[in-house]
Amino acid sequence: MAWLWLIIIVAVLVLYIVLKFNQLVSYKHRINNAWSQIDVQLKRRYDLIPNLINTVKGYVKHEKTTLKELTDARTKIMGGSSMAEKAKASNQISAALKTIFAVAENYPNLKANENFKMLQEELAGTESKIAYARQFYNDNVLSLNQALESFPTNMIGSVFSFKPREYFKASGEESKPVKVEF
C-alpha cells in the first residue's frame, strides 16, 4: 500500500511542478511579447519625429532649444541598451513632444497645417500605445516577479533559472497615457 501512496504523491508533485513551470514559461512569453509591442511603438515614434521636426521647423523659429531637446532624446534612445536607459530616453521624448505640442498652441498657422495635425494625431496615438504597452508589460513583469519570489514557485524558478525581469518605469506623472486635447 505504501508504494502506491508514494507513486500518487510523486505524481501529484510532478504535476504541480509541470503546471507551475508552464505558468512561468507563459509569463515569460507574454513579457517578451509585451516588450516587442513597446519596441514596435518606440520605433514608430522614432520614425515619426523627423517628420514632425521638419514640419515644425518652418513655423517656430524661436524654439530651437525645444527641437534640439527632442532630437537629442531621439538619438539617445537608440544608444540606450538597458531597459532603464531606454525607459529614461523614452520619457524624455514624451516630455519634449509635450512641450512642442504646447508651444504649437501659440502658432495658429502651424496648428492649421494638415500635415502637423496628422502627425499630432499619430504621435498622440503612439504615445498612448507606448503607455498601454508599458502597462501590459509591467503587469506581466509583476506577475512573474511575484511568482518567482513566493514559495514554492521560487524553487522551481531557480532550478530552471528563471530570472526576475526589470520594470519599464515611467517617470512620475507620465505613468498615465499622455492626453493631448484638441
Partner 1 sequence: MAIYEEISSNIRKSYLLLFFFFVIIVLLGYALGTLYGNPSFGLTLAFIISFFYTLFSYFAGDSVILRMNGAQEASKQHFPHLVNTVEGLAIAGGLPTPKIYVIDDTAINAFATGRDPKHASITVTTGCLQRLKRDELEGVLGHEMSHIKNYDVRYMMLVVMLVGITLLLSDIFLRSMWYGAGRRDSRGNAGALFIVIGLVLAILSPIVVRLVQLAISRRREFLADASGALLTRYPSGLANALKKIRDDKEPLVEAADRSSAHLYIENPLAKVRERRVNLWSTHPDINERINRLEKM
Contact positions vs partner 1 (CB under 8 A): 30, 33-34, 37, 41, 118, 121-122, 124-126, 128-129, 131-133, 135-136, 175-177, 179-181
| Smallest gap from residue 2 Cβ to partner 1 (A) | 38
A 10 A CB-CB count for 57 gives: 12
Give CA separation, 43 vs 26, 27, 52, 60, 127, in Å: 25, 24, 15, 26, 11
Please provide residue 52's backbone torsions phi and psi, each rounded to the nearest 5 degrees. Answer: -60, -45
Judged by CB, which is closer to partner 1: 64, or 176?
176
- Answer yes or no: are the C-beta atoms of 101 and 116 closer than 8 Å: no
Minimum Å gap between C-beta 178 and partner 1 is: 10
User: Please, what is the minimum distance in Å from the beta carbon of residue 35 to partner 1?
Assistant: 12
Return the number of the residue (46 or 136) whose C-beta is nearest partner 1: 136
Q: How far apart are CA 2 and CA 107, in angstroms?
A: 84
DSSP letter at 174?
G
Closer to partner 1 by Cβ: residue 8 or 118:
118
Nearer to partner 1, 80 or 125 (CB): 125
**Cβ closest to partner 1, residue 40 vs residue 103:** 40
Instruction: Give the separation between CA 44 and CA 122, rounded to whole angstroms.
Output: 9
Can you tell me the distance from the alpha carbon of 94 to that of 124, in angstroms, rounded to the nearest whole number? 10
Distance of closest approach, residue 10 Cβ to partner 1, in angstroms: 29
Phi, then psi, of 117 in degrees rounded to 5: -60, -45
Question: In the complex, what is the shortest distance from the CB of residue 175 to partner 1, in angstroms, rounded to a whole number?
Answer: 8
Q: CA-to-CA distance for 171 and 109, rounded, in angstroms?
A: 33
Smallest gap from Cβ 114 to partner 1, in A, equals 12
**Closer CB to partner 1, residue 74 or residue 129?**
129
